């Protein structure tokens, strides 16, 4: 995908002016928040599970090297192959080598954000291999030449009429007079078209929600069953997963699975939870002849031991963006990167550098809702503040912001000067607000006052009012 995170402000402005997008984004609040709340309320031990999930992931990250080795050993024992990819380029090349060795012309793909991260589809097209997305949302945006705007609902920015228009534009072999007004008819048509592609595919590529070190198993969760067909019908199954997807045991995986669906879609558990261990065995009725796992680093080991390590606990449920007021306003494409929302605001600078993605950790109101709903207790606002600190240290902020913070720091370190400055400022702003108590224009604050009024403060600061009340009481 085209990386446009440096243009976040322009992207956001366009998103705010797009009425269709604004209408579609209302589905995020309606479709996720209430369902998650109901699912959590129905599970009294939910918070205890969150604590346990955090412990499991922290333990795994503390011993990640050992669990990775154990996982590789188990995959090999089951007849599979593990490939190590330090970078996105390494991962793409490994996938291509496997596809070319077996003469693949078409590959089917289950939903996978990690293959979006390495830009796999464009790479395969460049080498005459057609990737076919089989998740309904991914299939729709592939028809449009777009990328996911949400990590679990990739087409959440679209409405039904747009999907119908795309199906009529692409599925020209079907009856042009067919009725596609009901969502069920769109689903049926996608199923009809995709089923043929499953049988044409030489290779199936999936991501992994979890990798289990105890058994060498990869786990995917879906609600459509497309992941099962993607990995069981072609003769080769390739799993592309990042290294932090490891969990030690099946029991650990089952505990975190109880958090995943509830946090993501408000379900007790996803419709399909598929465990894959190695290629097809002699007694198996179906399955791939070859099973490959590509383990991707792509900057994640650099996060270990840093103030951003907690981000590696993320299980990609999307709860943080479902509850983020900034995401609700601008949607996922405005972030200009694979991972939108609060988790993307932390992960994107880690993967691509804060020098080109510094706008993202600033795209937050710091309301704290993301951290409060995160099933892994990831302190997202705290890490966004760390990125803002890095941005300031590297002089990546505008000069006015740096000098403004410098002046504030100078005053804030001197209590007497701070009290005097805030008293003068409060009095002055109160006078500007006048009888209406609102300020419509203010130097250095046009970013706020150009679109809304600024409420005028009281004429006295809290310290002054407190001192006055104490004096009256005495």
E strands of 262-378, at which residues? 272-276, 290-296
Q: What is the bridge-based pairing of β-strands 272-276 and 454-455?
A: unpaired
Cα angle value 74/75/80 (rounded, 5°) = 150
Residue 358, helix vs strand vs coil:
coil
Helix, coil or strand: residue 129:
coil
| Mean predicted confidence (pLDDT) in 248-261 | 97
Six-digit token string for 52: 């346990």
Average pLDDT over residues 270-294: 95
| Cβ–Cβ under 8 Å, residues 364 and 384 | yes
Quick count: other Cβ atoms within 10 Å of Cβ 370?
28
Q: What are the two backbone dihedrals, phi and then psi, of residue 173, each rounded to the nearest 5 degrees?
A: -80, -5
User: pLDDT tens-digit profile of 116-128?
Assistant: 999 999 999 999 9
Of 8-12, 109-113, 381-385, the range with the lowest mean pLDDT is 109-113
Render pLDDT for 427-436 as a digit per residue (tens, 0 to 9).
999 999 998 8
Q: Check if the beta carbon of residue 27 is closer than 8 Å to that of residue 156.
A: yes
Backbone angles phi, psi at 221, to 5 degrees: -120, 135
Q: What pLDDT does residue 397 have?
A: 85
Burial of residue 438, with CB atoms counted within 10 A of its CB: 0-12 exposed, 13-18 middle, 19 or more buried: middle
> What is the per-residue burial (b if ≥16 Cβ within 10 Å, else e) of 408-418?
eeeeeeeeeeb
Mind listing the pLDDT tens digit for each residue in 45-65? 999 999 999 999 999 999 999
Contact by Cβ (8 Å): 33, 151: no
For the segment 124-150, the average pLDDT, to the nearest whole number, is 96
Q: What's the Rg (C-alpha) of the chain?
A: 26
Q: Are strands 438-439 and 454-455 parallel, antiparallel or unpaired?
A: antiparallel
Among 72-86, 356-370, 460-474, the range scoring the smallest mean pLDDT is: 460-474
Q: Give residue-wise pLDDT tens across range 150-199.
A: 999 999 999 999 999 999 999 999 999 999 999 999 999 999 999 999 99
Residues 121, 142: contact at Cβ < 8 Å? yes
| pLDDT > 80? residue 444 | no
Q: What is the pLDDT of residues 16-49, one digit of tens each?
A: 999 999 999 998 888 899 999 999 999 999 999 9
Rounded distance between C-alpha atoms, residue 352 and residue 324, angstroms: 22
Give the chain's mean pLDDT: 94
The whole-angstrom separation of Cα 168 and Cα 322 is 31
pLDDT score of 363 more than 80? yes
Of 101, 147, 106, the C-alpha closest to 4 is 147
What secondary structure, in 3-state letters, does 197-249 show?
HHHHCCEEEECCCEEECCCCEEEEEECCCHHHHHHHCCCEEEEEEEHHHEECC
Distance CA 212, CA 248 (A): 6
Distance CA 426, CA 420 (A): 10
Buried b (16+ CB within 10 A) or exposed e, 176-198: eeeebeeeeebeebbeebbeebb
Split at pLDDT 50, 70, 90, the class of 111 is confident
Separation CA 244–CA 469 (nearest Å):
56
CA angle 231, 205, 200 (to 5 degrees): 70
- Determine whether 218 is exposed, middle or buried from the number of CB atoms within 10 Å of its CB (0-12, 13-18, 19+): buried
Confidence of residue 474 (pLDDT cuts 50, 70, 90): low
């Amino acid at each position: 995908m085209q990386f446009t995170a440096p243009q976040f402000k322009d992207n956001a402005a366009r998103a705010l002016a797009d009425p269709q997008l604004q209408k579609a984004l209302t589905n995020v609040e309606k479709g996720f928040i209430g369902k998650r709340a109901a699912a959590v309320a129905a599970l009294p031990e939910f918070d205890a599970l969150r604590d346990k999930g955090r412990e499991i992931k922290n333990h795994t990250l503390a011993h990640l090297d050992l669990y990775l080795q154990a996982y590789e050993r188990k995959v090999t024992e089951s007849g599979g192959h593990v490939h190590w990819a330090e970078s996105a380029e390494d991962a793409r090349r490994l996938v291509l080598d496997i596809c070319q060795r077996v003469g693949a012309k078409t590959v089917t793909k289950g939903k996978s954000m990690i293959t979006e991260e390495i830009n796999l589809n464009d790479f395969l097209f460049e080498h005459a291999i057609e990737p076919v997305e089989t998740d309904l949302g991914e299939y729709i945006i592939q028809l449009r030449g777009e990328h996911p705007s949400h990590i679990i609902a990739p087409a959440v920015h679209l409405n039904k009429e747009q999907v119908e228009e795309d199906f009529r534009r692409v599925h020209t072999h079907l009856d042009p007079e067919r009725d596609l007004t009901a969502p069920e008819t769109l689903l049926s048509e996608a199923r009809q078209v995709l089923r043929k592609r499953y049988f044409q595919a030489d290779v199936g590529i999936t991501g992994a929600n979890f990798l289990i070190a105890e058994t060498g198993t990869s786990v995917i969760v879906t609600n459509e069953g497309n992941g099962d067909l993607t990995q069981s019908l072609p003769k080769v199954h390739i799993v592309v997963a990042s290294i932090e997807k490891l969990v030690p045991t099946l029991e650990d995986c089952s505990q975190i699975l109880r958090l995943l669906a509830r946090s993501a879609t408000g379900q007790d558990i996803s419709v399909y939870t598929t465990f894959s261990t190695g290629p097809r065995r002699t007694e198996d009725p179906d399955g791939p002849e070859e099973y490959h796992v590509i383990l991707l680093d792509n900057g994640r080991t650099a996060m270990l031991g840093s103030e951003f390590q907690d981000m590696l606990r993320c299980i990609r449920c999307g709860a943080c963006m479902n509850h983020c007021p900034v995401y609700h306003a601008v949607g996922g494409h405005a972030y200009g990167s694979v991972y939108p929302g609060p988790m993307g605001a932390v992960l994107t600078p880690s993967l691509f550098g804060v020098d080109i993605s510094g706008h993202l950790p600033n795209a937050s109101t710091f309301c704290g809702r993301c951290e409060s709903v995160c099933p892994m207790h990831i302190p997202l606002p705290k890490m966004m503040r760390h990125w803002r600190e890095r941005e300031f240290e590297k002089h990546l902020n505008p000069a006015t912001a740096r000098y403004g913070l410098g002046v504030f720091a100078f005053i804030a370190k001197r209590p007497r000067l701070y009290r005097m400055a805030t008293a003068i400022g409060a009095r002055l702003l109160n006078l500007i607000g006048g009888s209406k108590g609102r300020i419509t224009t203010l130097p250095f604050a046009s970013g706020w006052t150009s679109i809304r009024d600024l409420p005028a403060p009281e004429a006295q600061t809290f310290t002054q009012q407190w001192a006055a009340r104490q004096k009256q009481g005495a």
